[in-house]
A and B are shown apart, each in its own frame.
Chain A
Amino acid sequence: MSDSTILEVKDLQHIYMEKTPLEHQALSGVSLSVEEGESIAIIGNTGSGKSTLIQHFNGLMRPQRGEVTVEGQYLSDPKLDVKALRRKVGLVFQNPEDQIFEKLIGDDIAYGPLKMGLPLKEVRDRVKWAMELVGLSFEELKDRVTYALSGGQKRKVALAGVLALKPKILVLDEPTAGLDPRSRQELLDQIVRLNEKENMTVIFVSHNMEEVAYLAKRIYVLADGRNLIDGTPGDIFGNSEVLSKHHIGAPQTVEILAQLKARGYPVNLKAYEIETAAKEMVSVLQSFRR
């Protein structure tokens, strides 16, 4: 493990309801290593263990077998300071409703910083900072009730609540599911900014391969509770064999290119970005002449 490793997982296993007839092994040996400031996507078929895995990162689940370390600290340690860990690792769940419990938006986002014992001025600043970061107007929305929010707005509130803790590692489970196209793009841009400008380490789980292609510098592929391969988006999306074998989608651009390739057109599957995919198609079409 190098000095800049911020999170490491070694041979992590998890069995739900062990030694009962309903026993189910969700993780059967996952190992991964994340450097500080990286942006990592974890992809895999439904049931591959992604959500179980990331719940280990902030101590919500403790390792049954194997190890998880954050900045060298073992999360299986019974004397682990869970509060300190959760300030370091912010986790945003898939269902934002689960994470919102205050009546007013501003109060909900302030909850974490208040519990940290920060002075009121600082709490207010952080709430404002976090709200504007996710595209919620502080003045307009801080005194609104949370229950009248749409699903997409709730997601932004939940994310702001985690960001207000200024975590070093941001863990997101399906960050943009349920957001409209514009909100999705805005949120992705904000996450890119947090990652690049604030050096926040980002680890996210997603089914949306366009989002994975946009946000991740490196991708881990999970199947049946194990990590299979990791690499850049180009490497992973170009590996259509592994993806289709494990029922993992590729970006739609790659799917179209793969279908063209299957029909004998010499296109490069690594051209997952829409402009490069379009250029691939144009150059192929120009190569047909009488």
Chain B
Amino acid sequence: MSQPFIQVEGISFEYTINNHKTVPVLENVSFDVHPGEYVTIIGHNGSGKSTLSKHFNGILKPLSGNIYVDGLNTREANLQREIRQKVGMVFQHPDNQIVATIVEDDVAFGLENIGVPSSEMKARIDFALDAVGMSEFRKRPPHHLSGGQKQRVAIAGILAMKPDCLVLDEATSMLDTYGRRDILDVVRRLNNDGMTIVSVTHHMSEVAEASRVIVIEKGQIVLDGAPREIFQQYELLHQLQLDVPLASQLARLVHEYDNEFQADLIHNEEIIQEVMRLSAKRGVYVG
């Protein structure tokens, strides 16, 4: 097994809610993310998943325990810059991430900060804007873009930095179906090219894309495994206020009426294939 890219070792975290009270958010969480993995983290609102994701590039430091990114401890202030270059983070609300008045300047902002030569800058901006399908908007002011378009610009800003790992904290939750599909295509392509992906999401169809899913409840890991495995635990997920992808629900329903239909499908495409397989097996359409 390769050396883990992110090592989470027994971390805990809490928020102070008033003078007398604190709320524990993470309790003794440990896991590793290996280079090239595509991990999704799910859990209901307030389960601690966003807090956890903010630990991956040192935005938050654990109260106890340690996180290592490529062997670097996120607690070390002088490693901060190096860590953030390795782990790029995209948040739910693009407005908080956009700084410039023209789209391409916004994408260039991070590059200027890390001193990328201007000769290389153009190629990186071209690549990043093209990857998110926003090239034609490069001269536009970002504040007149729609939420989905802004989010694509924010993602481009991260991609231009060429990080080893991309952390998405509900980054597609404001996008439409097509916008989300575009982003997921980008993410899949980046992952195929070797980039490590960690994605916090509520969209179960997005989870089905990943190689691994971690389920968080009350600040602890309750499930960790391959999506197809996890999505068979329908009742447990429901108790955790979670869901399964629509394809899974549909497959289970069809299976109830027609038990030859496989129940453990998780992708839309698998549903189509299963209908084709069964209909071909049964013969010809007689109406």
Contact = CB atoms under 8 A, between A and B. Distances in A.
Nearest to A265: B275
Interface in B267-287: 268, 271-272, 275-276, 278-279, 282-287
Contacts of A167: none
Given A51-B146, A151-B45, A263-B272, A95 B17 contact: no
Interface string A37-76: 0000000011110110000000000000000000000000
Given A95-B95, A182-B44, A46 B276 contact: no
B255 to A, nearest CB: 9
B184 interface: no
A279 interface: yes
B173 A289 contact: no
B37 interface: no
A46 B175 contact: yes
A282 B23 CA distance: 49
B202 A181 contact: yes
B177 A282 contact: no
Nearest to A275: B253
Contact of A151 (B16, B23, B92): B92
Interface in B11-57: 15-18, 23, 43-47, 50
Interface string A235-278: 00000000000011110110110011001011000000011011
A290 B283 CA distance: 5
Interface stretch (A16-24, A79-87, A120-128, A194-202): A16-24
Nearest to B245: A252
Nearest to B14: A148
Interface residues of A, number: 62
Interface string A174-196: 10011111111000000000000
B222 interface: no
A285 interface: yes
A217 interface: no
B79 interface: no
Interface string B162-199: 00000000100111111100000000000000000000
Nearest to B18: A145
A80 to B, nearest CB: 26
Contacts of A184: 202
Given A151-B50, A249-B177, A260-B272, A282 B241 contact: no
Contact of B282 (A22, A179, A250, A288): A288
Interface string B48-69: 0010000000000000000000
Contacts of A145: 17-18
Contacts of A51: 146-147
A177 B283 contact: no
B275 A284 contact: yes
B242 interface: yes
Contacts of A97: 93
A227 interface: no
A2 interface: no
Contact of A148 (B16, B204, B272): B16
Contacts, number: 169
Given A179-B202, A180-B202, A181-B202, A256 B250 contact: yes
B129 to A, nearest CB: 16
Contacts of B135: none
Contacts of B178: 45-46, 247-249
A152 interface: yes
B230 interface: no
Contacts of B284: 288-290
A207 B268 CA distance: 19
Question: A97, A252, A263: which has the most chain B beta carbons within 10 Å?
Answer: A252
A209 B177 contact: yes
A14 B271 CA distance: 44
B226 interface: no
A180 B43 contact: yes
B93 A152 contact: no
A150 B177 contact: no
Contact of A253 (B95, B148, B149, B246): B246
Contact of A285 (B45, B173, B242, B275): B275
Contacts of B177: 207, 209, 248-250
10 contacts: A46-B146, A153-B45, A180-B202, A256-B268, A259-B268, A265-B279, A275-B253, A277-B250, A282-B258, A289-B286
Given A150-B46, A282-B257, 11 more contacts: A16-B144, A17-B144, A22-B140, A22-B144, A148-B17, A174-B147, A178-B45, A180-B202, A181-B243, A182-B241, A253-B246
Interface of B: 15-18, 23, 43-47, 50, 92-93, 95, 140-141, 144-149, 170, 173-179, 202, 204-205, 241-243, 246-247, 249-250, 253-254, 257-258, 261, 268, 271-272, 275-276, 278-279, 282-287
Closest 7 pairs (CB-CB, A-B): A249-B177, A152-B45, A46-B148, A182-B241, A181-B243, A290-B283, A207-B176
Interface of A: 16-17, 22, 24, 26, 45-48, 50-51, 94-95, 97, 143-145, 148-153, 174, 177-184, 207, 209-210, 247-250, 252-253, 255-256, 259-260, 263, 265-266, 274-275, 277-279, 281-282, 284-290
